[in-house]
Chains A and B, each alone.
Chain A
Amino acid sequence: SQQGEEDPQALSIQEGENATMNCSYKTSINNLQWYRQNSGRGLVHLILIRSNEREKHSGRLRVTLDTSKKSSSLLITASRAADTASYFCATDENDYKLSFGAGTTVTVRA
């Protein structure tokens, strides 16, 4: 069953703007991960945040985690056309088994 659910389902922004998407999950986790999928390609790991962390940065990405609300957010700052993709959150059922949400489709307009 899907553990994570992303919101919104789709997002359209202008190049240079920030994009924020959220993920809610149902049960306790060890970590939460975000992946990107470009059209017709496999998923690529972006960032992992552990359950005892509240915020993590990687380049233009900022991830927050609120375990009390069972939610996470992914912020992409200063978006570029190359950021156009679908973004998925994934939570771990055990060390290797990840449960994915349905994803947020981000379109960055030039």
Chain B
Amino acid sequence: NAGVTQTPKFQVLKTGQSMTLQCAQDMNHEYMSWYRQDPGMGLRLIHYSVGAGITDQGEVPNGYNVSRSTTEDFPLRLLSAAPSQTSVYFCASSYSDGGNEKLFFGSGTQLSVL
């Protein structure tokens, strides 16, 4: 299994541009999520999904859209990039384990917005 795969690894955008960060998992996990990591602030949850067709907002959803048309894929869309969205983005997945759910993370996308 490849696990959780994120593309691209690096991206530079200009303010106002839009783009999609891709996330795919091959473990048949029902749960997927997006976090952003900023220095000194840990990881903050952007959006999450508990299954195909179901998405919900996390702690910092503004400026981001998600959709979950398949179990495997959970893309994150930046609608109009802003410098405040410069961050490292991590996708994670998990499966139901009777209260012992743990996250499997991708290797991250480093995004710079100029």
Contact = CB atoms under 8 A, between A and B. Distances in A.
Interface of A: 1-2, 4, 30-31, 33, 35, 40-45, 48, 50, 88, 90, 92, 95-103
Interface string B70-110: 00000000000000000000101010100111111111100
A101 B42 contact: yes
Interface in B32-68: 33, 35, 40-45, 48, 50, 58-59
Interface residues of B, number: 28
Nearest to B39: A102
Interface of B: 4, 31, 33, 35, 40-45, 48, 50, 58-59, 90, 92, 94, 96, 99-108
A96 to B, nearest CB: 4
A88 to B, nearest CB: 6
Contacts of A103: 42
Contact of B100 (A4, A31, A90, A99): A31
* Max count, chain A CB within 10 A of own CB: residue among B31, B42, B99, B106: B42
Contact of A97 (B4, B40, B48): B48
A71 B50 CA distance: 29
B68 to A, nearest CB: 13
Given A2-B41, A42-B90, A43-B90, A31 B105 contact: no
B108 A33 contact: no
